[in-house]
């Protein structure tokens, strides 16, 4: 049994299982980032450009397939899509592990990225959890992604030192197989509910959202953030090597800088939420990241400067990685969050691909310093772009089941008018096919129980 506001045991198990599956997959994608430039040098065809391609190419297939795979899960069910995606990820890992050339490893990374199951996992989380607990489930998944990135930055160098680059890929294949077993034995059976607009994309909304300047700023922002990430990790491991830190000790730098960065972002997240300073703190984070990149360029050969730069970089990166999805959720129109998130995720993965290619090309021509300086210029462009951002307030989204209240058009129109009349409701949308009402509300004054009572009249 569970109380009205808490997770049921079934919801809790499903949420943490899905978070674990998502996190292990992202761990497998991220672990290669801090090690490939160091341990891939014996591969046939190795060059800085191919380092960037291998690190970022998973983003290309992710970007192409992210939304279509989500639609497929609406049609054939979540679990078949998740099984197939994890199997493709495992296959790509095996291909990369067995390859003796950068070209084979790149093909493996393409296959890894083609298992684009993020949308299906989020949709399954929405299927399994009640509306009042859905935000919590999504937050658990989001936290697990952040943790997987931190673990990957440390675990990748440790594993590569002991079992080599191929061993890292064999580990990612094992993680995918563990994920398949978790889907089979730990997730409850659940008839999928088709499209849920809070987590899956609606094709008819693309044109409208692609004209929304505020959402486009967030899409370009996440693209530039992940472009920077992959470009940095083409050059930074080699920069550490040049500064005298041997490859097997790189985790000595990543671990403390990551831990300190997580501590440093907490007061900023609290300040942004309580003082409505989201925009100011966001712009400050872009400037911190730009300063960190310039410090990386200036700190060639000086480990303490590189460590300071990476600590600042991780702090700004983690703050923006946490803030951008929250901003998107606040700004997306009612019933359009899934579509907005689909465009956002596609931009994110495309940025990862562009960053890998750009980082490889720049390192080949200009060295590590050139990579850091020119990517800092991208941050300056982002800062200019962010000047037009809305300072988002405490806006929240809710999705409510309306059941029998949608028998005819007149009933739907009357219900819509009553919902719009509730204090704090900015937008309301009823989707008869889903039996759902989507609300965009002011979280300070909206009362969810009042809306539920109205629907149940």
Mean pLDDT of 320-349: 86
For CATH 3.30.70.100, the residue range(s) in the chain are 395-455
How many other C-beta atoms lie within 10 A of the C-beta of residue 270? 10
Phi and psi (nearest 5°) for 430?
Answer: -110, 130
Asked if the 213-393 domain carries CATH number 1.25.10.10, the reply is no
Q: What is the CATH number of domain 395-455?
A: 3.30.70.100
Interatomic CA distance for residues 158 and 251, integer angstroms? 7
Phi and psi (nearest 5°) for 416?
Answer: -60, -45
Which of helix, strand or coil describes residue 444?
coil
Tens digit of each residue's pLDDT (9 = 90 or more) over 364-422: 999 999 999 999 999 999 999 999 887 776 777 888 877 654 567 777 788 888 888 88
More confident of the two residues 134 and 175: 175
The phi-psi region of residue 333 (left if phi > 0; otherwise alpha if psi is between -120 and 50; otherwise beta) is: beta
Interatomic CA distance for residues 287 and 293, integer angstroms? 10
Interatomic CA distance for residues 231 and 272, integer angstroms? 29
Report the sign of the C-alpha dihedral through residues 362, 245, 47, 146, in that order: negative
Q: pLDDT exceeding 70 applies to what percent of the chain?
A: 94
Token representation of residue 251: 């985790």
Tens digit of each residue's pLDDT (9 = 90 or more) over 64-112: 998 998 888 888 888 999 999 999 999 999 999 999 999 999 999 999 9
Contacts for 144 with CB less than 8 Å, ≥ 6 apart: 19, 20, 22, 23
Residues 100, 44 contacting (CB under 8 angstroms)? yes
Asked if the 1-200 domain carries CATH number 1.20.1250.20, the reply is yes
Which of helix, strand or coil describes residue 44?
strand
Give, in degrees to the nearest 5, the angle at Cα 155 between 370 and 54: 45
Residues 332, 427 contacting (CB under 8 angstroms)? no
- What are the DSSP calls for 353-367, one per residue? HHHHHHHHHHHHHHH
First to last CA, the chain: 27
Q: Which residues pair with 436 in a beta bridge?
A: 401, 431
Interatomic CA distance for residues 403 and 383, integer angstroms? 46
Tens digit of each residue's pLDDT (9 = 90 or more) over 15-66: 899 999 998 999 999 999 999 999 999 999 999 999 999 999 999 999 999 8
For CATH 1.20.1250.20, the residue range(s) in the chain are 1-200, 213-393
DSSP letter (8 states) at residue 429: E
Residues 326, 337 contacting (CB under 8 angstroms)? no
- Strand-strand pairing, 425-431 and 395-401: unpaired
Residues 28, 175 contacting (CB under 8 angstroms)? yes
Which of helix, strand or coil describes residue 431?
strand
Q: pLDDT exceeding 90 applies to what percent of the chain?
A: 53
């Amino acid at each position: 049994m569970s109380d009205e506001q808490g997770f049921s045991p079934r919801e809790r198990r499903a949420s943490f299982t899905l978070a674990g599956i998502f996190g292990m997959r992202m761990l497998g994608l991220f672990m290669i980032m801090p090690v490939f430039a160091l341990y891939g040098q014996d591969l046939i065809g190795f060059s800085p450009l191919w380092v960037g391609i291998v690190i970022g190419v998973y983003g290309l297939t992710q970007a192409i397939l992210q939304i279509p795979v989500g639609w497929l899960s609406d049609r054939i069910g979540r679990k078949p899509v998740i099984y197939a995606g994890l199997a493709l990820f495992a296959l790509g890992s095996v291909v990369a592990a067995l390859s003796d050339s950068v070209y084979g490893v790149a093909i493996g990374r393409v296959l890894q990225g083609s298992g684009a199951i993020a949308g299906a996992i989020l949709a399954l989380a929405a299927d399994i959890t009640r509306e009042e607990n859905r935000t919590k489930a999504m937050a658990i998944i989001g936290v697990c992604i952040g943790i997987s990135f931190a673990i990957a930055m440390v675990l990748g160098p440790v594993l590569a030192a002991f079992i080599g680059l191929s061993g890292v890929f064999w580990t990612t294949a094992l993680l995918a197989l563990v994920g398949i077993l978790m889907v089979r034995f730990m997730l409850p059976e659940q008839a999928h509910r088709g499209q849920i607009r809070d987590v899956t994309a609606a094709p008819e909304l693309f044109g409208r959202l692609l004209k929304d300047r505020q959402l486009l700023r967030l899409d370009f922002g996440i693209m530039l953030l992940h472009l920077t990430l992959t470009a940095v990790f083409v050059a930074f491991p080699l920069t550490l090597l040049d500064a005298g830190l041997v490859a097997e000790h790189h985790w000595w730098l990543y671990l403390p800088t990551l831990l300190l960065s997580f501590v440093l972002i907490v007061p900023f997240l609290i300040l942004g939420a309580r003082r409505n300073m989201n925009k100011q703190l966001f712009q400050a984070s872009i400037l911190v990241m730009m300063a960190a990149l310039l410090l990386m360029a200036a700190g060639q050969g000086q480990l303490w400067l590189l460590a300071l730069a990476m600590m600042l970089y991780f702090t700004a990166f983690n703050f923006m990685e946490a803030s951008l999805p929250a901003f998107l959720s606040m700004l997306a129109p009612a019933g359009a969050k899934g579509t907005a998130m689909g465009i956002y995720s596609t931009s994110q993965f495309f940025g990862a691909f562009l960053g890998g290619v750009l980082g490889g090309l720049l390192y080949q021509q200009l060295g590590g310093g050139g990579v850091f300086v020119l990517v800092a210029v991208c941050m300056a462009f982002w800062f200019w772009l962010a000047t037009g951002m809305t300072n988002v307030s405490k806006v929240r989204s809710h999705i409510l089941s309306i059941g029998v209240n949608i028998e005819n058009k007149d009933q739907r129109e009357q219900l819509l008018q009553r919902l719009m009349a509730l204090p704090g409701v900015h937008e309301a949308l009823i989707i008869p096919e889903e039996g759902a009402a989507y609300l965009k509300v002011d979280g300070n004054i909206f009362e969810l129980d009042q809306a539920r009572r109205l629907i149940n009249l």
